[in-house]
Amino acid sequence: MHEHKEQLLKIAIALGIGFGIYMIGLSFFDETQSRLLGIIAFLVTLWTNEALHLGVISLLPIILFPAFGIISTKATTLNYAHPIIYLFLGGFLLAIAVEKTKLHIFIADKILGFFPATPRGMIFSLALTSALLSSILSNTTTTLLLITIAIFITENTKLKMRFALAIAYGASVGGILTPIGTPPNLILLGIMQEQGMALIPFFQWMWMVAPLVFVMLVSVSMLLSIGVGDIVIQREIKIKGLESSQKKVLFLLGALIVLLLVNAPMKPFWNGLGLSESGILLAFGLVLFMPPFGILQWSEDSKKVPFAIMFLFGAGFSIAKAFSQTGLADELASYLLSMTSMTPLFLLLSVALLITFTTEITSNTALTSIMLPVIYSVAQQSGINATLFMMVATVCASYAFMLPIATPPNAIAMSSGVVNVRDMIRYGIVLNLLGVFFIVMIAKYFWTGILS
C-alpha cells in the first residue's frame, strides 16, 4: 500500500511539472507546441523518478501525442519501427550470445592484461577503446559490442555502472573524431555541400577535434573515477583456451567488425559498400540461431532481449518527429536570430547550450537536420562564420550525456541493467557543462584561426 502511495505521488509530481512547463510554454510558443513541451516534461520526470516501468513510460507517447493533438497514432507508431531499432536488436542478440558462451570473460581477461587492473585503469581503458572504435564505427555499434564486456569485469555493482557509462560516454566523445564517426557529422558535410560551402578535409577535421576529444576523455575518466579507490580487480577465472561456441561467436564478431569497416565510406579514398548497418547487425544476430552456429534458441534467449529499451528508442524518435512536425524546432531556432547582436563568444555559448540541452530530449540526427540549415541562414544574414557555428552545433548534438533518449549509447548503457537515470543525470549534467565550455573555448581560440 505504501509503495502505491509513493508511486501515485511520483506520478502527481510528473503531472505537476508537465502542467507547469505547459503554462510557461504558452508565453513563448503556440498551444500545440506548449502541449508538446508539457508532455515531454511529464515523460522526462517519469523516466527520472522511475514512477512506472521504463517500458510503460516509453509507450505513453502512442497514447498522449494523438490524444493531445500533437501527431497522429500512425505517425507516432511508425517511429517504434525505425530502422535503427533493428540495428539494436541485432546488437542485443550478439551481446546475448557473448554472455551465453562466456566469451566476455575471455575478452575481459585479455583487456586486464594490457591495462592496470584497477578501477581507474579500467574506466580509462574502456572509455579510450570505445572512443577510438566509435571514430570509425557508429557509436551505437561500438557501445553494443563493448557493453557486455564492461559489466562482467567485476561483480561490484557501483563499478559496473561506472564501466557501462565509460563505454557509453567514450563512444559519444570519440564519435566526432572523424567525419564518418556519427550521423550528425555526415549531415553537416551534406548540408555544406548543398550550400556550396568548402568541405572540411578528413584529416583537417581530425586535427581540429582531437584536442576536444582528448580533454573530454580525460574529463569522463576522472569524473567516473571519483571515489572508486585503488582496489585491484581480481581475475576471477583463469582462461586456458577458447571453447568451440566461443570461437564461433568470436569469428562472427571479427567478421562483423571487418564488414562494418569495409562498409563505411572514407571519402575520397573509398565510397563504402553502401549496405544498411541495421541490416548488417540484424543479419549477424539472426545467424546465431542458424546452423552451423546454433548458439541461440528463440524460446529461451529471446526473453533476454530488453524490449523496454527498444520502446525507449521509439519514444525518442517520436519526440523528434513531434518536434519537427509541430514546428517547435524551427521556433526554437528562430530565437537564434534575436541573439545575433551578441558578441561572437556569447553567441557560440548560446548555440552550444541550446543544442546540447535540446538534443537531450530529441534525436541528435533529427536535431542537426533541422537546426543546421537554420544556423546557416542566421550566419548568412548576420555575417558570422557559418562553418564555425555549424561545426559547434554538430559536435554539441553528439555531446549529450544526461538522459537515455539523448543518444543511442546512453540508451544502451541503460539496457545493461546496471545504470539508472539518476546516475546518468548526475554525471551527465557535469559532462554537458564541461563539454559546452571546452567546445566554445576550442572553437573560439583554435577553430576560428583554421576556418577563417
Cell of 47: 523516466
Report the pLDDT value the prediction gives residue 77, as an integer from 0 to 100: 95
Report the pLDDT value the prediction gives residue 366, as an integer from 0 to 100: 65
Cell of 382: 548576420
Report the pLDDT value the prediction gives residue 231, as an integer from 0 to 100: 62
Report the pLDDT value the prediction gives residue 109, as an integer from 0 to 100: 66
Helix (H) or strand (E) holding 186: helix 183-194
Report the pLDDT value the prediction gives residue 44, as an integer from 0 to 100: 81
Report the pLDDT value the prediction gives residue 233, as an integer from 0 to 100: 63
Largest CA distance in the chain: 67
Cell of 26: 504558452
Model pTM score: 0.71
Q: Hey, what amino acid is at 50?
A: E
Cell of 312: 525507449
Q: How far apart are CA 256 and CA 252, in angstroms?
A: 6
CA dist list (Å): 330 to 68, 184, 340: 20, 18, 16
Q: How far apart are CA 68 and CA 120, in angstroms?
A: 48
User: What residues contact 340, with CB distance under 8 A and at least 6 apart?
Assistant: 347, 378, 381, 382, 384
Mean pLDDT in consecutive groups of 10 residues from the start of the chain, 452 residues: 84 95 93 93 83 89 96 93 81 82 72 74 88 78 80 81 93 87 80 80 86 96 85 56 87 86 71 82 92 91 83 80 80 70 83 88 72 78 83 91 85 86 92 95 91 77
CA dist list (Å): 195 to 192, 265, 369, 380: 5, 21, 14, 11
Q: How far apart are CA 223 and CA 237, in angstroms?
A: 29
Report the pLDDT value the prediction gives residue 212, as an integer from 0 to 100: 96
Q: How many helices (H) and strands (E) does the chain have?
A: 22, 0
SS3 for 112?
Answer: helix
The three-state (H, E, C) secondary structure of 235-247, written as one string: CCCCCCCCCHHHH
Please, what is the angle between helix 421-442 and helix 408-415, to 10°?
Answer: 150
Report the pLDDT value the prediction gives residue 216, as an integer from 0 to 100: 96
